Structure 1
């Protein structure tokens, strides 16, 4: 199953809950981390959860090297509803 980490960066974003529901309806496993205030917190959470993609909503989304990151909920929804591959560069640790 494809795992997606949804993060609200520096502020609450009501779109995160709606997006999480949509992604679940599309058959993805959603981890909603809620608001996180630093890039380090996002990276640590992503390391622990091992998601296939990260959706970052909120103020000035950070650069997260090595992760497939979506900052636009519509783009993430489009990815989830079709034409997606497991990961951008390499399979997750769960399938190696």
Structure 2
């Protein structure tokens, strides 16, 4: 199962809830971190949650090396509904 971390960076974004519902309807496991204030918080949450992708909504997102990052709900929805996962050939630790 694809796992996506949804983060609202620096300000709340109403699209986060709608995106979370859409992704769940597509069979994606969603972790909604809510609004966060720093790039460090996003990175630490991503490291703890081990997502296949991170969606950062709101202000210009920080660099998150090692993670597939989407900056719009539309990008994330298109990726998730296509059923593609960067772990298809090498599953994450959750699947090993």
Normalised by the length of structure 2, the TM-score is: 0.92
What is the CA–CA distance in structure 2 between the aligned matches of 1:30 and 1:83, rounded to whole Å?
14
RMSD over equivalenced CA pairs, Å: 1.6
SS where residue 91 of structure 1 aligns?
coil
CA shift, 1:71, in A, is 0.4
SS where residue 5 of structure 2 aligns?
strand
CA shift, 1:89, in A, is 8.5
* CA contact 1:11–1:59 (8 Å) conserved in 2: yes
- Structure 1: which 4+ aligned runs deviate by more than 4 Å? none
What is the CA–CA distance in structure 1 between the aligned matches of 2:19 and 2:25, rounded to whole Å?
10
What residue in structure 2 maps to residue 48 of structure 1? 48
**C-alpha deviations, 1:39-76, integer Å up to 9, x for none?**
11001101111111100000111111000100011111
Written as runs of structure 1 = structure 2, the 5 A alignment for 1:1-96 is: 1-87=1-87, 90-96=90-96
What is the CA–CA distance in structure 2 between the aligned matches of 1:75 and 1:46, rounded to whole Å?
18
What is the CA–CA distance in structure 1 between the aligned matches of 2:50 and 2:59, rounded to whole Å?
23
The number of residues matched between the two structures is: 96
* CA contact 1:2–1:86 (8 Å) conserved in 2: no
Normalised by the length of structure 1, the TM-score is: 0.92
Show structure 2 runs of 5+ residues with no match: none
What is the CA–CA distance in structure 1 between the aligned matches of 2:83 and 2:17, rounded to whole Å?
23
Show structure 1 runs of 5+ residues with no match: none
